């Protein structure tokens, strides 16, 4: 019988580099929302990969940058909290660009003092036609470290080199037993999934007008045999944002609700009744207590 590897792997990166896309690609289905907007991920999300000789529990963390408010501090703590307790850290970077201030800040503030091994993962290599530029960009990331880390080039979107990435990850993991059943791909419950899907649809529907000022609270989630009934409250920072979200005659809220409901029905494999409300909580991103009510902690 072959050896069985199991362990925990954190994925960290600057905002909007492709962490959630990578996680969804690895586990083979959508478990983390993905949008073109930075800071889409707000909580650590576990994705579970299983095959015949391993089980890898990936932790998708919020995009890391220097925090600017209480919400930023909470996201920073979410990301930083897991790094010492995992078997490997994937530092995901955008291979299209040279290393910048944000990448250096992550190395200095997250990776410099942890004993956990780091694998540098260069994403979006499929978008670079100039091989010399690709190698120069890769060197700029390696140079951020005192001892240059192990490196692999991938495309999270196309799946390029993902099999090689899994093999390389396994080489860092200890022998162990499964933590989850083979058919489990995430530890999120349907309340959490519903909240994230609704937030994703808000981001896609409102573009740059709303995203950083919105939160979603599931007020109730009732499961019945043939239908799940969900009531959700959308939190925004001011009245003008509320008007945008509701739209003329409720058109925007209806669009968001319909889009979220259809995706949730695919996930739940049953009918969904979704009721949405909008509430203003002024400057909630600066309110410690409110942020904690979202399941985050800025301390």
Residues counted in the chain: 299
The domain 5-170 belongs to what CATH superfamily? P-loop containing nucleotide triphosphate hydrolases (3.40.50.300)
CATH 3.40.50.300 location in the chain: 5-170
- Kindly state the average pLDDT of the residues 176-187: 86
CATH 3.30.300.20 location in the chain: 190-293
- From CA 64, how far away is CA 106, in angstroms rounded? 7
Q: What band does 167 get if pLDDT is binned at 50, 70 and 90?
A: very high
**Could you give phi then psi for residue 83, rounded to 5 degrees?**
-65, -35
- In the DSSP assignment, the letter for residue 186 is B
Q: pLDDT tens digits for 190-227? A: 888 888 889 888 888 887 666 567 888 999 999 998 89
Say what the pLDDT of residue 237 is.
86
Among the CATH numbers 3.30.300.20, 3.30.70.370, 3.40.50.2300, 3.30.2020.30, which is that of 190-293? 3.30.300.20
Let me know: does 55 contact 180? Beta carbons within 8 Å.
yes
Describe the strand order of the beta sheet including 271-280 as a list of residue ranges: 215-223, 227-236, 271-280
- From CA 127, how far away is CA 100, in angstroms rounded? 19
Q: What band does 35 get if pLDDT is binned at 50, 70 and 90?
A: very low
Which of 84-88, 142-146, 293-297 has the largest mean confidence? 142-146
Global pTM reads 0.73
Tokens for 196?
């994230």
Q: pLDDT tens digits for 83-131? A: 878 999 999 999 999 999 989 988 988 888 888 999 999 999 999 989 8
Q: pLDDT tens digits for 263-272? A: 899 888 899 9
> Residue 98 in 3-state DSSP?
coil
Q: pLDDT tens digits for 98-108? A: 999 989 988 98
Tokens 């007008």 appear where? 209
Let me know: does 193 contact 185? Beta carbons within 8 Å.
no
Listed residue (63, 62, 28) closest to 45, CA to CA: 62
To the nearest 10°, the Cα dihedral for 82, 160, 37, 229?
A: -80
Let me know: does 298 contact 70? Beta carbons within 8 Å.
yes
List, in sequence order, the alpha helices (H) in the chain: 19-27, 70-80, 101-106, 131-142, 162-170, 190-206, 239-246, 251-268, 288-293
Higher pLDDT, 165 or 76: 165
Segment holding 49, helix H or strand E: strand 45-51
Tokens for 94?
């955008």
Residues 82-110, buried b or exposed e (16+ Cβ, 10 A)? bbeebbbbbbbbbbeebbeebbeebbeeb
């Amino acid at each position: 019988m072959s050896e069985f590897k199991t362990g925990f792997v954190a994925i960290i990166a600057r905002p909007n580099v492709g962490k959630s896309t990578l996680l969804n690609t690895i586990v083979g289905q959508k478990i983390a929302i993905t949008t073109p907007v930075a800071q889409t991920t707000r909580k650590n999300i576990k994705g579970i990969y299983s095959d015949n000789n391993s089980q890898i529990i990936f932790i998708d963390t919020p995009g890391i940058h220097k925090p600017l408010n209480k919400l930023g501090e909470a996201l920073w703590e979410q990301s930083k909290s897991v790094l010492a307790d995992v078997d490997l850290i994937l530092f995901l970077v955008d291979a299209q660009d040279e290393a910048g201030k944000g990448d250096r800040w992550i190395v200095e503030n997250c990776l410099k003092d942890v004993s956990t091994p780091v694998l540098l993962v260069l994403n979006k290599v499929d978008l670079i036609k100039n091989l010399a530029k690709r190698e120069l960009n890769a060197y700029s990331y390696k140079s951020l470290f005192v001892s240059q880390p192990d490196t692999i080039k991938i495309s999270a979107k196309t799946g390029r080199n993902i099999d090689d990435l899994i093999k390389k990850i396994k080489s860092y993991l200890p022998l162990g037993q499964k933590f989850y059943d083979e058919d489990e791909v995430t530890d999120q419950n349907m309340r959490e999934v519903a909240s994230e899907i609704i937030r994703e649809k808000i981001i896609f529907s409102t573009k740059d007008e709303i995203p950083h000022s919105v939160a979603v609270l599931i007020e109730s989630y009732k499961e019945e045999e043939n239908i799940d009934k969900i009531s959700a409250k959308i939190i925004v920072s001011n009245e003008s944002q509320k008007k945008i979200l509701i739209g003329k005659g409720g058109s925007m809220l209806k669009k968001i609700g319909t889009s979220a409901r259809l995706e949730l029905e695919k996930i739940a494999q049953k009918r969904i009744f979704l009721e949405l409300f909008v509430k203003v909580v002024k400057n909630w991103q600066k309110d410690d207590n409110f942020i904690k009510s979202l399941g985050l902690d800025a301390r």
